[in-house]
């Protein structure tokens, strides 16, 4: 299977409240090409993307990269991730020099998506409408 990318929109989830309170005029968001990666646990962004979205760093976490590198990375506040008619809010891991934005297992699961390795695209696990898990 080759590498493929999907268009997603990222938005600072905290900006909704900031706009409602008059602190900001609009929600910071951007549409980008992300690589679905079931080996990554959440959304992985670079520092440039974090700054453009104005994401606050909430903590740091020790994580390992695909090449085996273990380091401490920043974890951001919630990011709204949208793919077509599906969305979720999760923190992002910031890997400063990352060339690609990675759409990891948690956002894929939360949006009821899976990788179709034959057609090299994302598809809904339960068809065109997402099935949400109720807690």
Specify the number of domains making up the chain: 1
Q: Cα separation of 122 and 135, whole Å? A: 25
| pTM given for the model | 0.90
The answer to whether 76 and 50 have CB atoms below 8 angstroms apart is yes
The tokens describing 121, both together, are: 């695209």
**CATH number of the CATH domain containing 81:** 2.40.70.10
Domain that holds residue 85: 36-135
Q: If you count them, how many residues does the chain have? A: 135
Whole-number pLDDT of residue 3 = 85
- 105-131 tens-digit pLDDT: 999 999 999 999 899 999 988 877 666
């Amino acid at each position: 299977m080759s590498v493929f990318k999907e268009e997603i929109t990222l938005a600072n989830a905290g900006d909704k409240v900031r706009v409602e309170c008059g602190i900001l005029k609009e929600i910071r968001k951007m549409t980008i090409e992300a690589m679905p990666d079931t080996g990554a646990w959440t959304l992985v962004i670079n520092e440039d993307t974090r700054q453009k979205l104005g994401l606050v760093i909430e903590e740091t976490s020790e994580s390992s990269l695909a090449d085996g590198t273990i380091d401490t990375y920043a974890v951001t506040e919630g990011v709204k991730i949208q793919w077509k008619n599906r969305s979720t809010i999760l923190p992002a891991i910031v890997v400063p020099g990352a060339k690609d934005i990675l759409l990891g297992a948690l956002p894929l699961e939360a949006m009821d998506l899976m990788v179709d390795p034959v057609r090299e695209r994302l598809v809904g696990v339960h068809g065109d409408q997402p099935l949400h898990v109720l807690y």
